[in-house]
Amino acid sequence: MRKPTPKKRGSKIGFVIDPFRRREVWFESGLEENWATVLIARPDVEEIREQQTVSYGNGRTHTLDFVVTWTSGYRTAYAVKYAADVDQDLRRVLRAIAERNGDDVADDFCILTEEELDLTTIANAREILSCSTDFDFEGQSVVRDYLAGVGRQVRLGDIGKRSGLSYRGYRAAVALFHDGALVADPAELLRVNLVASNCLSGQ
């Protein structure tokens, strides 16, 4: 991984804690931070590697912001740019990397901008990561047992009350969104009165 350096637009260096793979995912801009948060929270992501420098001939190198391995095994390399900074030069570089390196680097090469994100998606991802960093596996186990015995639609606040864990139960339930035990309309904010689909229901 290349050492993170500031970018021209939205410069911000730091890392997001990935509680599922127990590592830090570094970013170099506010936009990269948002995308890292969203990608970490997704249940179909197996691994994220950031700031991956690759060569594409004649001594030329380019740093890919993220290389994501999905649970299917498919790998996608991402350049993260504000829409105003996306140009044909970047597209040519990505094509050149793909042509020279093939699937040694990734199966696909894409560009992520702020236009593919919305505030609800970012907020929900942050909530999932916040609750998951509790590492409350005991609470999650209690919630899983509760979900197995109730219907396919469940209100998040009720999970906390009826599992006996109160707010701790709500946070454990939100953490379970990462592995797909619960799913909800992505346009809805995760909150206590949200009704989610219970994928563990035995009814």
Q: Domains in the chain, ordered, with CATH?
A: 11-116 (3.40.1350.10), 134-198 (1.10.10)
User: d(Cα 117, Cα 112) in Å, to the nearest integer?
Assistant: 9
Mean of all residue pLDDT scores within the chain: 94
Confidence (pTM): 0.91
Q: Is 196 a residue whose pLDDT tops 60?
A: yes
Alpha-carbon torsion 97, 101, 104, 108, what sign?
positive
- Check whether 3 has a pLDDT greater than 60: no
Q: For 85-143, what is each residue's pLDDT tens digit?
A: 999 999 999 999 999 998 899 999 999 999 999 999 999 999 999 999 999 999 999 99
The pLDDT score that the predictor gives to residue 202 is 82
Q: What are phi and psi of 174, to 5 degrees?
A: -60, -40
